[in-house]
Amino acid sequence: MMNAHNPLDLAVETRDLRVLETVRRAIRHRQVMLAFQPVVQSRRTDQVAYHEALIRVLDETGRVVPAKEFILAVEETEHGRMLDCIALEKGLAELAREPGLRIAVNMSARSIGYRKWMRTLSRGLDHDPTVAERLILEITETSAMLVPELVIRFMGDLQNRGITFAMDDFGSGYTALRHFKDFSFDILKIDGQFIRGIATDADNQVLTRAIISIAEQFDMYTVAESVEHPEDAACLAALGIDCMQGYLFGAPTVAPAWRERQKRPVSA
pLDDT at 212 over 80: yes
Give residue 176's pLDDT: 63
Q: Are β-strands 48-58 and 187-190 bridged in parallel, bridged antiparallel, or unpaired? A: unpaired
**Distance, CA of 163 to CA of 27 (rounded, Å):** 27
pLDDT at 14 over 70: no
Average confidence (pLDDT) over 230-242:
98
pLDDT at 132 over 60: yes
**Distance, CA of 20 to CA of 12 (rounded, Å):** 12
Highest mean pLDDT: which of 22-26, 141-145, 187-191? Answer: 187-191
Give residue 172's pLDDT: 82
pLDDT at 153 over 90: yes
Give residue 267's pLDDT: 54
Q: Which pLDDT band holds residue 263 (cuts at 50, 70, 90)?
A: low
Cα of 157 vs its chain's centroid, Å: 20
pLDDT at 268 over 50: no
Comparing C-alpha atoms, which of 153, 162, 65 is closest to residue 121? 162
The 8-class DSSP code of residue 61 comes to T
Average confidence (pLDDT) over 103-129:
94
pLDDT at 1 over 60: no
Residue, of 62 and 240, whose pLDDT is higher: 240
Return all residues near 232 (Cβ < 8 A) that are at least 6 apart: 195, 196, 197, 198, 199, 248
pLDDT-above-70 percentage for the chain: 90
Comparing C-alpha atoms, which of 101, 210, 80, 195 is closest to residue 146? 80
Q: pTM for the complete prediction?
A: 0.90
Q: Which pLDDT band holds residue 261 (cuts at 50, 70, 90)?
A: confident
Return all residues near 65 (Cβ < 8 A) that are at least 6 apart: 22, 26, 56, 57, 58, 59
> Mean pLDDT for the chain?
90
Q: Is 170 helix (H, G, I), strand (E, B) or coil?
A: strand
- For 188-254, give the DSSP string: EEEPHHHHTTGGG-HHHHHHHHHHHHHHHHTT-EEEE----SHHHHHHHHHHT-SEEESTTT---BS
Average confidence (pLDDT) over 182-204:
96
**Distance, CA of 117 to CA of 61 (rounded, Å):** 29
pLDDT at 88 over 90: yes
Walk me through the domains of the chain, giving residue ranges and CATH numbers.
Answer: 25-252 (3.20.20.450)
pLDDT at 265 over 80: no
For residue 139, list its beta bridge partners.
Answer: 167
Return all residues near 145 (Cβ < 8 A) that are at least 6 apart: 173, 174, 175, 176, 179
Return all residues near 30 (Cβ < 8 A) that are at least 6 apart: none
